[in-house]
């Protein structure tokens, strides 16, 4: 099984990984969870979310297992935050001291609704102290959206226009990575890493909902504070 380890200056006690499709097939989550637990030596079972493209961030506790949310955070050691993606953008966060962690599922709806902002607010940490890693998502060369998506972002922040390339006929190519980076910058978060993958074109490594027309597995992005 192949994992991606974020290339970022997180403290050594912060553990973070994203799975690939290599050795991690389209098995139902319970079977894949057992594989994850065994190979990564997870300290506890991940706190899974019921992801609905919301702007809801919850604390990663057993009581919030399967809660409707698209991000989770914790300051507790050995509590595993996790999100599932297959073109949407997984975002992992910690701070320079490694006192907190968060995992975000960010599709365009979640980004536009404020999932990053909600997560940063939940962390209650000076944004300039945060470290962010942008995991595997669909690249701007393959992410075609309609006029409504362009309008939704630009009406909020004019700077978002730079994340779109016009195709004509009210269609645009959208850059999820850049849209996230714009929002992070507005929050005074400048320590941002990753953002150089494409789930659609790198078919040897990643699942892609668009490429596989909805019939595909999911990538798992996890982060925790090791005791």
192-220 pLDDT tens trace:
999 999 999 999 999 999 999 988 889 99
Asked whether residue 162 is domain-assigned, the answer is no
Average pLDDT of the segment spanning 173-182? 99
Asked whether residue 210 is domain-assigned, the answer is yes
Q: CA dist 43 to 10, 78, 163, 183, 219, Å?
A: 19, 5, 39, 32, 20
Query: How many domains does the chain fold into?
Result: 1
Asked whether residue 96 is domain-assigned, the answer is yes
Asked whether residue 125 is domain-assigned, the answer is yes
Write down the mean pLDDT value for the chain.
Answer: 95
* pLDDT band, residue 22 (cuts 50/70/90): confident
Asked whether residue 205 is domain-assigned, the answer is yes
The separation between the first and the last C-alpha atoms of the chain, rounded to the nearest angstrom, is: 25
Burial class (CB in 10 A: 0-12, 13-18, 19+), 126: exposed
* Of 111, 125, 77, 106, nearest in space to 223 by CA: 77
Q: Quote the pLDDT of residue 30.
A: 62
Q: Is the pLDDT of residue 168 over 80?
A: yes
Asked whether residue 104 is domain-assigned, the answer is yes
Question: Dihedrals φ, ψ of 38, to 5°?
Answer: -75, -45
- Predicted confidence (pLDDT) per residue in 24-78, tens digit: 666 556 667 888 888 899 999 999 999 999 999 999 999 999 999 999 999 999 9
Asked whether residue 221 is domain-assigned, the answer is yes
Given a contact cutoff of 8 angstroms between Cβ atoms, the answer to whether 22 and 2 are in contact is: yes
Q: Quote the pLDDT of residue 46.
A: 95
Q: Residue 7 belongs to a domain with what CATH number?
A: 3.60.140.10
* Of 81, 79, 137, nearest in space to 110 by CA: 137
Average pLDDT of the segment spanning 171-175? 99
pTM tops 0.85, yes or no: yes
Asked whether residue 164 is domain-assigned, the answer is no
Range of the domain at 115: 3-139+187-225
Q: Quote the pLDDT of residue 4.
A: 97
* β strands within the chain, DSSP E: 3-4, 14-19, 57-59, 71-74, 81-85, 89-95, 101-106, 130-134, 144-146, 164-168, 171-174, 192-194, 219-225
User: What is the C-alpha separation between 175 and 139, in angstroms, rounded?
Assistant: 6
Q: CA dist 69 to 58, 89, 106, Å?
A: 7, 15, 11
């Amino acid at each position: 099984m192949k994992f991606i380890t974020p290339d970022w200056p997180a403290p050594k006690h912060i553990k973070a990984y994203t799975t690939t499709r290599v050795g991690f097939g389209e098995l139902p989550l319970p079977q894949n969870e057992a594989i994850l637990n065994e190979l990564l030596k997870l300290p506890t079972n991940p706190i899974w979310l019921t992801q609905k493209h919301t702007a809801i961030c919850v604390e990663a506790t057993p009581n919030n297992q399967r809660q409707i949310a698209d991000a989770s955070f914790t300051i507790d050691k050995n509590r595993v935050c996790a999100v599932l993606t297959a073109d949407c953008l997984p975002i992992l966060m910690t701070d320079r001291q490694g006192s907190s962690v968060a995992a975000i599922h960010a599709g365009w709806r979640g980004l536009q609704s404020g999932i990053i902002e909600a997560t940063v607010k939940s962390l209650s940490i000076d944004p300039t102290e945060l470290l962010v890693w942008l995991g595997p998502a669909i690249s701007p060369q393959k992410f075609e959206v309609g006029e409504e998506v362009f309008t939704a972002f630009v009406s909020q922040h004019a700077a978002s226009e730079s994340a779109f390339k016009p195709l004509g006929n009210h269609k645009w190519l959208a850059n999820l990575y850049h849209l996230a980076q714009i929002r992070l910058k507005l929050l005074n978060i400048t320590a941002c890493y990753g953002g150089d993958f494409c789930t659609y074109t790198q078919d040897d490594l990643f699942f892609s909902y668009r490429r596989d027309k909805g019939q595909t597995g999911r990538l798992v992005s996890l982060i925790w504070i090791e005791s």
